[in-house]
Structure 1
């Protein structure tokens, strides 16, 4: 989730070492902004227990064909590697009253620090990813509300199509999404996806915030987050789910999702 921004004013985006475009349109100029506060540092996987927890905030299951297990998570060399392996004999997962057959054991982590955007504030998120794109693989880097659902912000989501999706849910049917071809890297060092998200007063009073994304230094998209965003706490989740929205059957062999240099910088007043 890379340039990702949630804002609705002319506030500029900025990265840690480079400048990102403003979120008021693809033709915006590259600008910089004053330094913020580091909430999650780039070397956080080396101090995993300080910054991260295993599984989802609510448990091991969600809305796909993988059940999460800490044994499927590695942080060697400050690279988070999530591995999904075929499994049999697992009872079905249940989410919202719907059951999902479990065909894999996989890994998911979430940040211990919840992210809450204050009026006039926001966050930058940066990371390097090497994501699988085969049918049935569903890696994601996303934010979801601590209390209730929605809103949900998929900073970066891959759903087995060869594309990367940037999307937000204001309701189950009110969804803003933009998909672009994902240049799947051979090595994680070749995949930098910078994301920033900010909030500011919307001039048309249509939304709480707005977001945009930069992939490999190129502006990709921006769209609004309209409801229940400001002053709401969010979980940040790094997830290797399987099947579900990415189709089935999934791969018959093990699948990995690698992430490094995750950094979250806060700009709340």
Structure 2
């Protein structure tokens, strides 16, 4: 088994708008059991990108914030794309113990009412802070996929590649 994921992309984004308003409670949007059965999976996830089979963005591309992305190595890339050329990436070594580890992104509005602060965590430890310029009011989607080739290299892995995700939870402040 090939233990190194060629390119795993968890693009943090929700089908909701980020609002600068003060909020007091969290609501679960996608529960941790969303992979428990086919019917449960289908009620929370779509087999294709929200805009179809082509990865062309929703309305425009970006905004994008990658919670987990691996590009042919064991380094996880925390990325925020403000434009296609204005990108912030922080690489964090992924543990080689073959165990599950947690990734989390917390998005909070900045006081200017337009930008978002994104705190990225691995195993509940803050690893990076980035800022999404003009993210408030933009449609965002959560995408979990296994990408091969592209910026990860070509032709991709030659052996079996394993992709596993579990306990995915999305909450929002109401």
The TM-score normalised by the length of structure 2 is 0.77
1:1-269 → structure 2 map (5 Å cutoff): 35-46=25-36, 47-62=40-55, 146-188=58-100, 191-202=101-112, 208-227=115-134, 229-268=135-174
Of structures 1 and 2, the one scoring higher in RCO (CA 8 A, sep 6+) is 2
How many equivalent residue pairs? 153
- Give distance in 1, aligned partners of 2:60 and 2:123: 33
Quote how far apart the aligned CAs of 1:254 are: 2.4
Quote how far apart the aligned CAs of 1:40 are: 0.8
- Asked which structure has the greater CA Rg, the reply is 1
Quote how far apart the aligned CAs of 1:234 are: 1.1
Alignment gaps of 5+ in structure 1: 2-6, 12-32, 63-94, 96-144
- Give distance in 2, aligned partners of 1:167 and 1:186: 23
CA contact (8 A) 1:201 1:209 kept: no
Quote how far apart the aligned CAs of 1:61 are: 4.7
CA contact (8 A) 2:118 2:130 kept: yes
Q: Which digits, 9 at most, give the CA deviation of each residue in 1:210-253, with x for residues without a partner?
A: 111111122211011112x1111111100101011111232222
Q: Which digits, 9 at most, give the CA deviation of each residue in 1:91-118, with x for residues without a partner?
A: xxxx7xxxxxxxxxxxxxxxxxxxxxxx
Closer, same or farther in 2 for the Cα pair 1:58/1:154, shift >3 Å? same
CA contact (8 A) 2:51 2:58 kept: no
SS at match of 1:235: coil
SS at match of 2:49: coil
- What value does the CA root-mean-square deviation take over the aligned residues? 2.5
The TM-score normalised by the length of structure 1 is 0.51
* Greater per-residue strand proportion: 1
CA contact (8 A) 2:62 2:84 kept: yes
Closer, same or farther in 2 for the Cα pair 1:210/1:48, shift >3 Å? same
- Give distance in 1, aligned partners of 2:155 and 2:138: 36
CA contact (8 A) 2:32 2:168 kept: yes
Alignment gaps of 5+ in structure 2: 1-9, 11-17
